[in-house]
Structure 1
């Protein structure tokens, strides 16, 4: 195996008493002290399980916060994702890299080989945290970041969860960083999305949302077919210089033809117009709709096609392949792992044909 293809080894040490506490209540969000060694660099960290339903899986995912030193390689925290339900292990990274390639802000990620207290835990995906350090790494203007934490992050005044009017406009969001006053800007954004008249929408919404970047993000959701991506699995970034909100994808393992349980999701499951209140209102405007139509065509010609994606997919697969037999959680699924690249490529071909057949709806 080429040296540049080897995965970095992350040696995680959680004191046995802390590991017992972590396993005693998987839903506890109180971090516990631990140590992480990367390339012989010893780091004091705080650690806790991450995710919602994924906490119940045998192979756990972790949220790591650097304690001493205070940051590592410019980051305050990282996420170590098990990608347990994705038998290809690569859908999340493939998606986030795809978003970045088509001009959308997206977190960086890399595959790592994790060991816990000397025991092999297998392949993990290290995900960059979307926070003030994320902005700094990219020389982006300071601003606020709000995580969409549940289905109420639907850009509506109505709750998806309670099926009534939202008790608070911030329902569905959790502020990660930024000044308090930006909470008012989020509220104003949601009010404007839902109250600007149809006649005024085209001229007014551009004062709140970077529409071009929103359309690129929407295209990314549609191509990868993330069913949850419209009301979840994203962060909002309010650019402090422009005052406009941008959208950043997050957690994209249920994509490329498989759902959150790893089951087949047919290529026509999600229509090209997507869903959520903001998307519906933007695509109601002919100029925005035609721009979106052109974007879909451009991206299929340049990025979302088998010729472009095949070397990327097989490159990731080849990098991970030597590690799968030693992953205690997925080694029995090696045959499935080996079949996934062809499955994903077939999805890309079928999805592109479906999208092309639906472009007339955007005329």
Structure 2
């Protein structure tokens, strides 16, 4: 095993009484105390299960909050994702790295191997938390961050969940950092997206949204074909210097040709124009639509093609493959795991062909 390819071993110890408490109610968001050892460094942490439907899975995902010290590697918390339904274990990292590659803000991630109370739990993806430390580590201006936590984060005045008018403009969002004033900026954004007259939209929306960055993010959602990505699975960052909102992807395991249950998602399942109110209004403007069309062509030429993606996928696969036999949740399906890189590459080729066939609809 090549030493520079080895993934870190995380040794997690949750006292039995705390582990019982954690398992007693998997939906509880109250963390319990635990210890985490990384490279012989012992850390006191708080830990809790993370996610919504994924909490029901046998292999749990965790939110780790550093307690003593209260930051570690310039972070106050990280997320450990089990990637339980992803047959490749690669899709989330592959997606987030792809977003960064095409010029979109995106969380960093790394594969780790988790051992819980002396028992192997297998390969996990450690995800950087999108918060004030995320901004600081990139020398980005201070600003607010809102997580899109459910389908009501659809940029609309109408609820995606109960189909009526939203009782609050902040429905679907959870403030990660920011002030009460920032909540008003978010409300103002939603109102303006829905009420600016069409004749004024091109010159007015750029006062609230970094449109070029939004279109890069949209292209990323379209290429990876994340069905939930338009109304969920993202964070909003309001840049304190420009006053403009930018968008950051999050939780991208249901991508690259498989859905949230790991089932095949055909390459034409999500149309080239996506959906949500903001996307529809932006793509209604000729100027923005042409920028988007140019971005799609540019990314297909430079990143979204088999020639470019194959070595990236192969490197990730090679990095975690030696650990698969030790992962109790995937080792009985190694032959499926081994076929996934080719499955993903076939999807890239098919998806690129589909998108290419639809570019004329943006004329």
So what's the TM-score if we normalise by structure 2? Answer: 1.00
Which residue matches 2:30? 30
- Cα offsets for 1:44-95 (capped at 9, x unmatched): 0000000011001000000000000010000000000000000100000000
Which residue matches 1:19? 19
Q: Distance in 2 between matches of 1:187 and 1:16?
A: 45
Alignment of 1:57-96 (within 5 A): 57-96=57-96
Which residue matches 2:265? 265
- Give secondary structure in 2 for the equivalent of 1:36: strand
Q: Distance in 2 between matches of 1:108 and 1:220?
A: 16
Q: Does 1:184 align with 2:188?
A: no
Q: Does 1:349 align with 2:349?
A: yes
Q: Distance in 1 between matches of 2:274 and 2:237?
A: 21
Which residue matches 1:100? 100
Which residue matches 1:148? 148
Which residue matches 1:43? 43
Q: CA deviation at 1:179?
A: 1.7
- Give secondary structure in 2 for the equivalent of 1:321: helix
Q: Does 1:256 align with 2:248?
A: no
- Cα offsets for 1:31-54 (capped at 9, x unmatched): 000000000110000000000110
Which residue matches 2:123? 123
Which residue matches 1:307? 307
Q: CA deviation at 1:198?
A: 0.3
- Give secondary structure in 2 for the equivalent of 1:84: coil
Which residue matches 2:321? 321
Q: Does 1:285 align with 2:285?
A: yes
Q: CA deviation at 1:191?
A: 0.3
Which residue matches 1:235? 235
Q: CA deviation at 1:118?
A: 1.0
- Give secondary structure in 2 for the equivalent of 1:112: strand
- Cα offsets for 1:325-344 (capped at 9, x unmatched): 11001101100000000000
Q: Which runs of 5+ in 1 are unaligned?
A: none
- Give secondary structure in 1 for the equivalent of 2:42: strand
Q: Distance in 2 between matches of 1:296 and 1:139?
A: 28
So what's the TM-score if we normalise by structure 1? Answer: 1.00
- Cα offsets for 1:277-315 (capped at 9, x unmatched): 000000000000000000000000000000000000011
Which residue matches 1:298? 298
Which residue matches 1:215? 215
Q: CA deviation at 1:255?
A: 0.1
How many residues align structurally?
A: 363
Which residue matches 1:113? 113
Which residue matches 2:204? 204
RMSD: 0.4
Q: Distance in 2 between matches of 1:333 and 1:308?
A: 28
Q: Distance in 2 between matches of 1:164 and 1:102?
A: 36
Q: Distance in 2 between matches of 1:162 and 1:196?
A: 25
Q: Distance in 2 between matches of 1:314 and 1:218?
A: 26
Q: Distance in 2 between matches of 1:199 and 1:88?
A: 47
Q: Distance in 2 between matches of 1:179 and 1:161?
A: 27
Structure 1 stretches of 4+ with a deviation exceeding 2 A read: none
Q: CA deviation at 1:178?
A: 1.0
